[in-house]
A and B are shown apart, each in its own frame.
Chain A
Amino acid sequence: MSEAPIFEARDLSRHFDVSRPALQRILAREGKRTLRAVDGVSFAIPRGTTMSLVGESGCGKSTVARLAVGLYEPSAGSALFEGQELAEARKSVAQRRRMQMIFQDPYASLNPRWRVANIIGEPIRAFGIANGGGALREKVGALLKQVGLSPADGNRFPHEFSGGQRQRISIARALSSNPDFLVCDEPTSALDVSVQAQILNLMKALQRDLGLTYLFISHNLAVVRQVSDRVGVMYLGRIVESAPAETLFTAPRHPYTRALMEAIPDLEMAGRDRQPVGGEVPSPINPPSGCTFNPRCPLANGRCRAERPALIPARGTPQTLVACHAVEEGRDGFEARTAA
């Protein structure tokens, strides 16, 4: 990539202290406990593209989203916005307005006491983008139209709108500061499927028209396939596989990615039985040694239990980065699968 990525995570980590209160800890003679929500994650998002992070609850994907807009500070490693440390970049108003976030729950993320025009207008006023009531009203009206609502909707309150319409309002608010980089944390998970399709289509159209860059967080692989250029699969705070979307879905490499895809009930599979992956996600407070997926992995051996695998290009599909000893050693049966 010749151009610098708009956002880059370098060995990004975020740890939380989940120890019990000091006195209880002393009485129980136990040490401090740390939850490694995000543990050494690296990726870069080229301008105008969509990078998605998928994984199950507790894998750290939402924590990465919050790190990416500066709602959390990294415990280690760095988050870079156009090559500059995020914390530095966020000190400047001109840079801060360029990154925005869309949240999962459109019922909780809009102030119920504010009219929609104020909700959308606040960033415009705060960043001094449009001055004077007339210019502000015009800008808010244009934003509402852009997301498929009418300028008259600005006078109404959030409770007067359906879930899908509220998510449109959230998007209009995020767009109001003319951002370049949008972090979307499960933007359609709270919506019904027919409305989800509306919002995904809107987000794609906006990306095309405005050249936006998205970091898209979701647990839904089918949604991720529709929107992404590149996908990172997270498990227990780490990226276990990262690949261009088409490669990931046609040739998934990590045993966890394959298990996830296998687990999704699909319309095509009507009436068929599947082999679900066994076990559950272990606690991130006390993760397994070596590769954290090893207790559930059909390919695990002694090395997997002892040594943490690095994220490296995969044999056979070099655009894929995968953290798996079995893939590196060629004992994942990939050659046999592709030959068949």
Chain B
Amino acid sequence: MAALLEVRDLVVEFPTRRGTLRALDRVSFEIAPGEVLGVVGESGAGKSMTGAAIIGLLEPPGRIAGGSIFLRGQRIDNLPPREMRKIRGKRIGAIFQDPLTTLNPLYTVGHQLTETMRTHLDIDAAEARRRAIGWLEMVGIPAASERIDAYPHQFSGGMRQRVVIALALCAEPEMVVADEPTTALDVSIQAQVIALLKRLTREKGTSVMLITHDMGVIAETADRVAVMYAGRVAEIGPVRSVVKAAAHPYSAGLMASIPPLSHKVDLLPQIDGAMPRLNAIPQGCAYNPRCPHVFDRCRVERPELLDATETKAACWLFDSQAPRERAHV
């Protein structure tokens, strides 16, 4: 199956006075049409950076220093800003964490929806307004035909995020980059918003790149998951395999450290230490100082994504050329 989005060896760098920091280091993955790819990792792992690079909204001085991004085979990472603007919104929608900063406080939500649709779709004002009301109804805003003329501050946080979802989907994009779409919301509202996002993207056949640190949200929503660590993809595979039987020691540790809701444990499995800073990423595998299975090769040579049982993991334990027993710890 041809991928909708293909990211190949993406490198993002930040030049600073003390040298260049590499925020993303050869990140590669694909998203199939209609697929939900979850991207997880801890703060600073590079998941939001990956999303920003795809929609062409890297904050300067950050820049793409290598690799390429293809949307349906068309290269989009080197497009001039004018061209990229036609893709962003029209072909790739975006949902961010904080709905208050995504919406313009000076315009009514109806204005923002119709403006987006009229920029990207060939429709007149009356049609755009009709569709805007339709979208607000679809995302579950009560009394949509009245609320369309309300300003963002007149909505609650959960309702605002619904408006943002309508805004991201109204130009009928082929995929949506959703960066922590529910992190700012309370759990009961989060469940509503996730259910909504799932239903709408399934109905429209939209692909989703769902970036979050909440494994529960990923487990329920995503088809496949990419686990990021220190600017690299540590493991990628079907959601059930990564959650239940992660191959990479980091993903396994991350899953184990999530407090279970279903029972009480005496001691939570923890990963000692912390993720390295960008200016001090260790040689070889970035996870080697914290890894319980580390051996000499990990400290020297960087592993690429290798075939593990059900997933692909960037870990030397899965090198079929030089097999190695997992240490028992």
Contact = CB atoms under 8 A, between A and B. Distances in A.
Interface in B259-315: 259-265, 267-272, 274-275
Interface string A192-230: 111111101100100000000000000111110110000
Interface in A240-291: 245-246, 249, 259-274, 276-278, 280-281
Contact of B187 (A56, A195, A267): A56
Contact of A226 (B158, B191, B264, B272): B264
A197 B270 CA distance: 5
B215 A263 contact: no
Given A194-B270, A246-B264, A265 B254 contact: no
Contacts of B264: 225-226, 245-246
Contacts of A200: 259, 268
Nearest to A199: B270
B268 A197 contact: yes
Contact of B216 (A192, A226, A265, A273): A265
Contact count band on A: 35 or more
Nearest to B216: A265
Contacts of A219: 186-187
A19 interface: no
Contact of B188 (A164, A249, A259): A259
B268 A201 contact: yes
Contacts of B258: 193, 222, 267
A264 B255 contact: no
A270 B188 contact: no
B43 interface: yes
A226 B220 contact: no
A165 interface: yes
Contact of B261 (A197, A225, A277, A280): A225
B20 interface: no
B195 A222 contact: no
Nearest to A161: B274
Contacts of B104: none
Contact of B191 (A193, A249, A263): A263
5 contacts: A194-B253, A220-B259, A225-B259, A265-B219, A280-B159
Closest 5 CB pairs of A and B: A265-B216, A276-B191, A192-B42, A56-B186, A197-B270
Interface of A: 56-57, 162-165, 192-198, 200-201, 204, 219-223, 225-226, 245-246, 249, 259-274, 276-278, 280-281
Given A201-B268, A268-B219, 19 more contacts: A56-B186, A197-B259, A197-B269, A200-B259, A222-B261, A223-B259, A225-B260, A225-B264, A261-B261, A262-B191, A264-B187, A265-B219, A266-B261, A266-B262, A267-B215, A267-B255, A268-B262, A272-B220, A273-B195
